[in-house]
Each structure stands twice: as C-alpha cells, then as structure tokens.
Amino acid sequence: MFLNQVNRLKENNPSKDFLRTIPSDLPIPVDDGGCNHLQGLTLPSVNLPSTSGGTVNPAQIPGWLVIYCYPMTGQPGRAIPDGWVQIPGAAGCTPQSCSFRDYYRELQALNAKVFGLSTQSSDDQLEAANRLYLPFGLLSDASFQFAQSLRLPMFEIDNMRLTKRVTLIAKDGKIQKYIYPVFPPDKNVEDVLAWLKTHD
C-alpha cells in the first residue's frame, strides 16, 4: 500500500525532485575514528519512543536489525541551521530515509528490521514519517541514552546536539557491522543490503 502513496507523493511534488536531490558539491565526511569502538558491542537496553507507536528497545529485537542514525530531517517551511550544508555529513537525511523506504521490501526479504534514529523529538520525527510515508519507525533519542551508551559521535549547531550519521547492523542485540562515515547518504541502504546478502 505504501508504494501507491509514494507514487502519489512523487506526482504531487515534481519540482522538488521527490526531496531526493543531494547537492553535487556536498563536503565529504572523513573517518575521524569516532566509531572504531562499536564493533561487537551490545546495543543498550533503552526504551525509545517510536513514530509507529509505543516504545522500542533495540537490545531486545531478535535477528537482524538495521539502525541508521542521522542528524535531523528538515521540515517544509522551517529554515535549516545556517551553515548546515557545509557541515560534512549533515545534509541528506531525507534522501537517506527515502532510500531505506524504497528498499524496505528487500530488507524484509533478508529478515532485517529497520529503524531510523535521531535526537529529534517524536513530534518532529512523526511529521517526517508521515510526509515521507515511511513503512518503518523513527526512534527518538532526545534523552541521548542510546547515543551516550554507545559513545556515538555527535556535533552541535544552533543549541542542538545531534548524532553524526552512522549505520549499525546488529544481530540479536550485538553490533556486527557499522558504516561510518556514511556518504552519500542516499546510497547507504545499498551498502547495507550488499553486506547483509553476504552474511547470515
């Protein structure tokens, strides 16, 4: 059903290129070593509000789990922070979420559950989830419990503390693979799928 909604969204927003345009001159993030410690860690047992309703404890999800952590999704009519596009790895959250949506069935076929995660409020995330017709939940780490427990790399702008873009692939609550830095963000899901197809 969500594919029909997606097609309607494309038809109604031709001038926005389906919110997928990533500027060709985006600065490329470099690996600063901020995620070198993640391999093999157990996901923290924290209950995170989900746009799908209720809370989700990533540590308790059996099997394959993909969590793409992103800084923040913008909203129509709301200005992005000054200098946002110039921050390596900051821009591209909407195209990243759209790509995970578009490949959702492929992820399901590999028995992988997927969530997006940011430090935004659930209300802000719900706006994005509804507008983009995401078939999976976005998790709010506004309390920083998840990020702090894993010591995820973060940055600050406009009095906001945001998670740098990193994707975690876990199995039975243990991190098997991390992708960092993530670039370009709209191709992240293809890297995830390629890795999952070679592991069981």
**Has residue 103 been placed in a domain?**
yes
Confirm whether 15 is domain-assigned.
no
28 part of a folded domain? no
Residue-level pLDDT at 22: 72
What the block records as the tokens of 132 is: 């983009």
* Cα-based distances in Å from 114 to 24, 142, 189: 28, 19, 10
Strand partners, 157: 160
- pTM here? 0.89
* Domain presence at residue 2: no
User: Number of structural domains, the chain?
Assistant: 1
- pLDDT at residue 171, as a whole number: 98
The confidence score (pLDDT) of residue 69 equals 98
**Residue 112 is part of a domain; what is its CATH number?**
3.40.30.10
Q: Answer whether 136's CB lies under 8 Å from 100's CB.
A: yes
Domain residue limits at 107: 36-74+86-196
> Domain for residue 180, yes or no?
yes
Contact present, 162 and 155 (Cβ < 8 Å):
yes
Tell me what pLDDT residue 198 has: 97
| pLDDT given for residue 25 in this prediction | 79
pLDDT tens string for the chain (200 positions)?
Answer: 434 443 444 444 433 433 456 777 789 999 999 999 999 999 999 999 999 999 999 999 999 999 999 999 988 888 889 999 999 999 999 999 999 999 999 999 999 999 999 999 999 999 999 999 999 999 999 999 999 999 999 999 999 999 999 999 999 999 999 999 999 999 999 999 999 999 97
| Residue 136 resides in a domain | yes
Name the amino acid, one letter, at 59: A
Helix (H, G, I), strand (E, B) or coil at 150: helix
Cis peptide leading into residue 135 (ω within 30°)? no
Contact 117, 146 (CB under 8 A): yes
**Residue 168 belongs to some domain of the structure:** yes
Residue with the two structure tokens 């994005």: 128
pLDDT at 17 (0 to 100)? 39
Q: Is residue 7 part of a domain?
A: no
Give me the pLDDT at residue 8, please.
Answer: 44
